[in-house]
């Protein structure tokens, strides 16, 4: 037991004196969690999930312009900007601002829209009473929407859908109103023609349309509420992802110390000691396991205390704390195993640092720590199933955000345990192997 | 009191080390690094292992300390077969590697405490031994100094101190005085001589022939993996008249051609 504790304390002391290593271990994932959370807030903005300012230019200045403005103002998360510095915006200015990225979108109501719509409504009513459609004719007038070219397709389509719905409702209302006005006059005309005299007021029922008539839906589509008591937040996703990422970054200092031991000859000295290799490896793992826990706690504190100050939701970690503890421990053990294996296999510090960093970043990217797996191409989604970081992330999110338990993440935990065992076996075999000494 | 022969150890045995017929050929190498190497060391004896670069000195030490498995031959320490009972034998031996095999970010005392703990030593005893060992190598005033802040001589002395901490019966010293000043060198040699007088056995490899003449009771000269001469410095001088000193004899035996 004494050698195990001595090794554990020695590793902690070495790490404590490696300031750059500590910076990598603690500051890097915390900074990433903050930055990615804030960046994701911006992504939500461009995908329509957060409030955004939209330039609105009314060139029509008749009835429809203000009506459209009123309808647009009802769309959730949109704030219409019609003036800048106290002056109405013109189309050129609006397009320039959008092209420069100052605003993501600009909506223009063209001049003559009201007149054109009135004319087309009259024509269509006349066609309806005539019982035949007139083919051809000029194209319909349209609202113009200018997007910042960098705005994502998801936001474009959601805004265009909203505008389309609004236009449809307005069109329906305009047509219905026009029909309700035209129908009594036509009936009077028809009665007059049939009776041979003008009928002033035959007592026909009239159609009363309130302003929201066209907007009232006959059939709706509703996104149902999740059965989870607390809905997952982006902070949970980001903190979990960056925790796993940070935990796996212990690979760098761990394999660095291992390789330095080999290069400086301390490994040879260790191998002359009356202590088994497993004790030495276990001591190293124990130290880094403790470091991973401190690191996880640090990132959680950032999620609970720092991120809310920057406007994100407070981090929630779910109710099953023991399950979360087991999961984080297994993620840490998998990372330790990988670090030890890399330290045992890599020839030089440079090799280990390069391969370690690149492999962890690749596994993180493939594992869905940076972008969700479901947006990846099929081949990458298949690869994702082999990333230990993906297993860790899935398990932590399942417990922290989806009210999961040990039973629901047992597959991921088994995979992490197997990965740890396999990498440790390689490290142990390599550690016990005898190398040719530097001098013969 | 210098460390050595004062701690618990094996039953008294006439020979501390018996190496018989050791052979080693590395993978991807046709020539053997060591062939039919035999050596014995009695208590209190310092045996010098001399040879040019690449002669097989470090390979011999690696085989005798269990760092490498031999292709043939066997090693017994205090009568116990090393390969069969490594856990039993390891506390009886100490290794001073050619490299400074210490944790450079730890202090001298922290290094000693760590390696002492690995031998199962703890508490007050460990504290006393650390203090004694550092005093033995002249580092009593530097126990809190980090190894990476030490001079070359201090590092060499700390390297030696770690090997003495568990009071081994048999010490393997692989060029322990390389690259240090005469003062540090003198202190190390004095301490080794004291330990030898206290009964410790040592295998000492060096390129400094004068060191071997000064402290070694016997010398083994190897080249290209084979023993080419052995005996006391006096015996060797008598056997090869006209060489002047051990340095002249060494050059006559191993040649003047440069070795890589």
A209-244 pLDDT, tens digit each: 666 665 566 676 666 665 666 666 777 888 888 899
CB contact, 8 Å: A22 with chain B?
no
Tell me how far apart the alpha carbons of residues B96 and B175 are, in angstroms, rounded to a whole number.
8
Euclidean distance between the first and the last CA atom of chain A, given in angstroms as a whole number: 35
Report CB contact under 8 Å: B68, A437: yes
Residue ranges of domains in chain A: 2-43+235-432, 50-215
Contacts of A266 in chain B (CB under 8 A): 101-103
pTM above 0.90, yes or no: no
Longest dimension (CA), chain A: 127
**Chains A and B: how many Cβ contacts under 8 Å?**
99
Q: What average pLDDT does chain A have?
A: 82
Q: What average pLDDT does chain B have?
A: 86
Q: Is residue B187 part of a domain?
A: yes
Number of domains present in the structure of chain B: 1
Sheet holding A78-81, edge to edge: A78-81, A52-58, A105-109, A144-147
Q: Residue B138: helix, strand or coil by DSSP?
A: coil
CB contact, 8 Å: A80 with chain B?
no
Q: Can you name the CATH fold of A50-215? A: abc type-2 transporter like fold (3.40.1710)
Q: Is residue B148 part of a domain?
A: no
Q: Is residue B35 part of a domain?
A: yes
- CA nearest B86 in A: which residue? A274
How crowded is the C-beta side of A4, counted as CA atoms within 13 Å? 6
User: Which pLDDT belongs to residue B1?
Assistant: 40
Kindly report the nearest CA distance between residue A388 and chain B, in angstroms: 32
Tell me how far apart the alpha carbons of residues A12 and A293 are, in angstroms, rounded to a whole number.
13
Q: What is the mean pLDDT of residues B188-211?
A: 89
Q: For the segment A298-327, what is each residue's pLDDT rounded down to a tens digit?
A: 989 988 888 888 877 788 887 889 999 999
pLDDT classification of A78: cutoffs 50, 70, 90: confident
User: Which pLDDT belongs to residue B259?
Assistant: 63
Report CB contact under 8 Å: B67, A434: yes
Report CB contact under 8 Å: B98, A438: yes
Q: Is residue B34 part of a domain?
A: yes
Q: What is the mean pLDDT of residues B216-226?
A: 89
Q: Of all helices (H) and strands (E), which one includes residue B228?
A: strand B226-231
* Residue B162 confidence (pLDDT) above 90: yes
Q: Taken in order B116, B118, B121, B123, is the CA torsion positive or negative?
A: positive
Q: Is residue B52 part of a domain?
A: yes
A365: Cβ–Cβ under 8 A, 6 or more apart, which residues? A371
The domain of B90 spans 17-102+170-254
User: Which pLDDT belongs to residue B61?
Assistant: 92
Q: For the segment B83-114, what is each residue's pLDDT rounded down to a tens digit?
A: 899 889 999 999 999 889 999 999 999 999 99
ipTM of the complex model: 0.84
Q: Is residue B123 part of a domain?
A: no
What is the domain-level CATH number for residue B24?
3.40.50.300
Report CB contact under 8 Å: B102, A274: no
Contacts of A274 in chain B (CB under 8 A): 86-87, 90-91, 118-120
């Amino acid at each position: 037991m004494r050698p195990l504790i001595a090794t554990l304390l020695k590793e902690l002391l070495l790490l404590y004196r490696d300031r750059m290593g500590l910076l990598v271990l603690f500051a890097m994932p915390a900074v990433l969690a903050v930055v990615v959370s804030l960046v994701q807030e911006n992504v939500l903005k461009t995908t329509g999930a957060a409030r955004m300012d939209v330039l609105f230019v009314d060139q029509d200045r008749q009835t429809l312009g203000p009506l459209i403005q009123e309808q647009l103002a009802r769309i959730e998360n949109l704030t219409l900007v019609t003036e800048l510095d106290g002056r109405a915006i013109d189309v050129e200015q609006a397009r320039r601002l959008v092209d420069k990225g100052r605003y993501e979108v600009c909506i223009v109501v063209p001049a003559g829209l009201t007149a054109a719509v009135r004319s087309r409504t009259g024509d269509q009513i006349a066609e309806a009473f005539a019982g035949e459609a007139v083919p051809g004719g000029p194209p319909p007038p349209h609202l113009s929407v200018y997007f910042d070219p960098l705005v994502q397709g998801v936001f474009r389509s959601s805004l265009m859908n909203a505008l389309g719905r609004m236009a449809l409702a307005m069109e329906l209302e305009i047509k219905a109103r026009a029909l309700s006005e035209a129908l009594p006059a036509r009936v009077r005309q028809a009665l007059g023609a049939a009776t041979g005299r003008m009928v002033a007021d035959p007592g026909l029922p009239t159609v009363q349309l309130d302003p929201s008539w066209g907007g009232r839906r006959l059939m709706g589509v509703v996104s149902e509420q999740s059965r989870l008591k607390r809905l997952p937040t982006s902070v949970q996703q980001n903190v979990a992802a960056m925790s796993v990422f940070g935990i796996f970054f212990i690979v760098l200092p761990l394999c660095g110390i291992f390789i330095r031991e080999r290069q400086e000859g301390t490994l040879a000295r260790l191998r002359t000691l009356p202590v088994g290799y497993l004790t030495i490896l276990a001591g190293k793992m124990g130290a880094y396991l403790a470091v991973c826990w401190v690191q996880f706690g640090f990132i959680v504190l950032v999620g609970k205390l720092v991120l809310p100050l920057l406007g994100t939701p407070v981090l929630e970690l779910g109710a099953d704390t023991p399950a979360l503890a087991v999961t984080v421990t297994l993620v840490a053990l998998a990372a330790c195993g990988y670090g030890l294996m890399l330290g045992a296999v890599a020839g030089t510090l440079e090799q280990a640092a390069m391969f370690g960093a690149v492999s962890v970043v690749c596994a993180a990217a493939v594992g869905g720590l940076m972008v969700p797996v479901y947006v990846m191409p099929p081949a990458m989604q298949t690869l994702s199933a082999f990333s230990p970081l993906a297993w860790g992330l899935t398990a932590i999110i399942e417990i922290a955000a989806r009210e999961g338990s040990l039973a629901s993440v047992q597959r991921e935990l088994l995979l992490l345990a197997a990965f740890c065992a396999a990498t440790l076996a390689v490290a142990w075999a390599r550690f016990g192997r005898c190398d040719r000494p530097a001098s013969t | 009191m210098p460390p050595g022969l004062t701690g618990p150890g094996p039953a008294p045995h006439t020979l501390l080390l018996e190496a018989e017929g050791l052979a080693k050929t590395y993978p991807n190498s046709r020539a053997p690094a060591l062939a039919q190497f035999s050596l014995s060391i009695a208590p209190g004896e310092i045996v010098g292992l001399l040879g040019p670069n690449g002669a097989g000195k470090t390979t011999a030490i690696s085989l005798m300390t269990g760092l490498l498995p031999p292709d043939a031959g066997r090693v017994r320490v205090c009568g116990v077969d090393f390969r069969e009972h490594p856990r039993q034998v390891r506390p009886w031996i100490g290794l001073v590697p050619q490299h400074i095999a210490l944790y450079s970010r730890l202090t001298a005392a922290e290094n000693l405490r760590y390696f002492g703990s690995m031998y199962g030593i703890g508490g007050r005893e460990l504290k006393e031994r650390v203090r004694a060992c550092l005093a033995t190598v002249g580092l009593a005033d530097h126990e809190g100094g980090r190894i990476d802040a030490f001079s070359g001589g201090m590092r060499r002395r700390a390297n030696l101190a770690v090997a003495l901490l568990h009071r081994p019966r048999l010490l393997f010293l692989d060029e322990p005085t390389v690259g240090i000043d005469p003062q540090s060198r003198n202190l190390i040699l004095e301490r080794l001589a004291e330990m030898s007088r206290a009964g410790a056995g040592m295998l000492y490899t060096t390129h400094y022939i004068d060191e071997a003449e000064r402290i070694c009771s016997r010398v083994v000269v190897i080249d290209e993996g084979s023993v080419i001469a052995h005996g006391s410095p006096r015996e060797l001088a008598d056997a090869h008249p006209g060489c002047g000193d051990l340095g002249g004899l060494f050059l006559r035996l191993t040649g003047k051609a440069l070795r890589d």
